[in-house]
Amino acid sequence: DIQMTQSPSTLPASVGDRVTITCRASQSISSWLAWYQQKPGKAPKLLISKASNLESGVPSRFSGSGSATEFTLTISSLQPDDFATYYCQQYHSPPWTFGQGTKVEI
Amino acid sequence: EVQLVESGGGLVQPGGSLRLSCAASGFTFSRYDMHWVRQAPGKGLEWVSVIGTTGDTYYPVSVKGRFTISRENAKNSLYLQMNNLRAGDTAVYYCAREGTCSSVSCPLDYWGQGILVTVSS
């Protein structure tokens, strides 16, 4: 199975900060990586696919980069609505696996 | 508007069974691969199963042999039959649609609201 490791687990931040979350895969997954945002009590929301493709309706302050085994999610200027938990997920091959999550908090 | 609505959750004793359902609307259900993903209380996301448009299925080792995913295209419905449940299966279970993309597999673009399954005596 492909293991996905996110860092950090918790990210203290303030409104206006630039934040970066890292996701590492245990083997190459090319660019078959997605990022999701989840708020408490809600379902995850797809933000980015294929490592860097922003989904329709997602603010442009979100961006993704990387390939093979190392990926990043960047929020250029953190907004109040962005305080949430973020997960990476590989869809290169089954079993599909998620990172353990990064909670962006005040 | 795409909607996925789970039902069938609840409290079940260890060793018991439960069948989850997911009612889909707003898209041509038969044309999409469908997944179940779960989240234990306070924990991260864990993929549980997928069923393709032709009925092929995959499971992780943690549920293989105990869980069965199925679909009924005529009813726009997805199911998860869970047998021999354990305390570790306690979680919110989400059904999710796999989107379309340029790869064999794609990200999950729509999710239901989730349904809680509690395994406890």
| Minimum distance, in Å, between the CA of residue B73 and any CA atom of chain A | 23
pLDDT above 80: residue B96: yes
A104's CB contacts (< 8 A; 6+ apart) are A11, A13, A19, A21, A75, A78, A82, A83, A84, A85, A86
Asked if the bond preceding A40 is cis, omega within 30° of 0, the reply is no
Given this model, what pLDDT does residue B100 score? 85
Instruction: Please give the average per-residue pLDDT across A5-33, as a whole number.
Output: 96
Given this model, what pLDDT does residue B97 score? 97
pLDDT, one tens digit per residue, over B97-111 is 999 887 788 999 999
DSSP structural state of residue B121: -
pLDDT, one tens digit per residue, over A58-91 is 999 999 999 999 999 999 999 999 999 999 999 9
Cα separation, B65 vs B87, whole angstroms: 17
B78's CB contacts (< 8 A; 6+ apart) are B21, B22, B24, B34, B36, B51, B69, B70, B71, B95
Q: Do A49 and B107 touch (CB under 8 A)?
A: yes
Percent of chain A with pLDDT over 90: 97
Q: Give the count of Cβ contacts less than 8 A between chain A and B.
A: 64
- Among candidates A43, A89, A98 on the partner chain, residue whose Cβ is nearest the Cβ of B111: A43
Instruction: Please give the average per-residue pLDDT across B58-86, as a whole number.
Output: 97
